[in-house]
Amino acid sequence: MNKQSTHFNLLLALIIGMTSVQICSAQELNATLTEALLNVTVVSEAGNPPVGDTIWFVPEGAEEGYYGVTNETGKFSMLIANGVTYEARFKNSQGQIQKASIPIPGNEKIVFDFKLNYELPRVYTLDQVFFATGKATLTTASFAELNELIEVMKFKTAMKIEIGGHTDDVGEDAANQKLSQNRANAVRNYLIKKGITGDRVSAVGYGESKPVAYNNTPEGRQKNRRTEVRILSQ
């Protein structure tokens, strides 16, 4: 029996319309002449095993394929048709897209070990989240990026985040603090409304206390008016 090992450092792409397969321990599955045994391990750069991550393996040129979900050790095993080149696909919290080509030889019993190392950014800005001027009302243009975050959190079931609201320095400190908290709350409430449990999302308003640019230009003030995601655990 042939055994191959592949190690990738990747951010991979999510797609929909996948076909699930039976996920078992490697000891319960055996490679055949038509099906390869695929052992998948996912770890972060810190060495922590992500729980509940979904990895897809899609035949090149196809719209449907196989997927598995990582267990508490960051692993899963499954049987997939051999003699096919697959694209391994994954989605991180920012929706970044890459694909890895995985050729699986045919006409032989093969065990294929696939290891994926990746690290989510600990803090990043929701660039497409907007509010009505001076208010904590989300605009409809914000929903697409928030829905992307929701999909990631549904697949990464152990992920907990903080939503941070930030303002520029125009106006009174207390008013900016209140506005930033209300905006963070608005994002949190949207996530909860869409099915994310409240214990997985906290909201903190930082007001004007954490600028990322100078407030003496319109461009700088625009950068400082932002909503951030801080990943607390994954």
Are 114 and 144 contained in the same domain? no
Are 85 and 20 contained in the same domain? yes
Query: What pLDDT score does 113 carry?
Result: 84
Q: Kindly tell me if the per-residue pLDDT of 152 is higher than 90.
A: no
Q: What percent of the chain has pLDDT over 90?
A: 47
DSSP string, 130-143: -B-TTS-PBPGGGH
Are 100 and 181 contained in the same domain? no
Are 134 and 214 contained in the same domain? yes
The mean pLDDT of 2-25, rounded to a whole number, is 39
Backbone angles phi, psi at 162, to 5 degrees: -115, 130
Are 95 and 175 contained in the same domain? no
Last residue of a domain, one of 54, 86, 118: 118
Are 6 and 111 contained in the same domain? yes
Last residue of a domain, one of 96, 118, 140: 118
Q: Kindly tell me if the per-residue pLDDT of 9 is higher than 70.
A: no
Query: What pLDDT score does 91 carry?
Result: 60
Angle between helix axes 143-155 and 173-193 (nearest 10 degrees) is: 60
Last residue of a domain, one of 118, 140, 170: 118
* pTM reported for the whole predicted model: 0.60
Are 132 and 106 contained in the same domain? no
| More confident site: 63 or 9 | 63
Bridge partners, residue 138, by sequence: 131
Query: For all residues of the chain together, what is the average pLDDT?
Result: 83
Distance of CA 160 to the CA centre of its chain: 12
Are 6 and 110 contained in the same domain? yes
Write the pLDDT tens digit of every residue in 80-126.
999 999 988 876 555 555 578 888 888 888 887 878 776 666 899 99
What's the domain range around 167? 123-233
Are 127 and 225 contained in the same domain? yes
The total domain count for the chain is 2
Where residue 201 sits, what CATH number does that domain have?
3.30.1330.60
Are 163 and 224 contained in the same domain? yes
Query: What pLDDT score does 207 carry?
Result: 97
Strand order in the sheet with 100-104: 19-20, 66-69, 54-59, 84-89, 100-104
Are 144 and 49 contained in the same domain? no
Are 148 and 164 contained in the same domain? yes
Where residue 55 sits, what CATH number does that domain have?
2.60.40.2190
The position carrying tokens 């321990």 is 25
Angle at the Cα of 232 from the Cα atoms of 231 and 234, rounded to 5 degrees: 75
Q: Are the CB atoms for 180 and 194 separated by under 8 Å?
A: no
Write the pLDDT tens digit of every residue in 194-207.
999 999 999 999 99
Query: What pLDDT score does 62 carry?
Result: 87
Cα atoms in the Cβ-side hemisphere of radius 13 Å centred on 25: 4
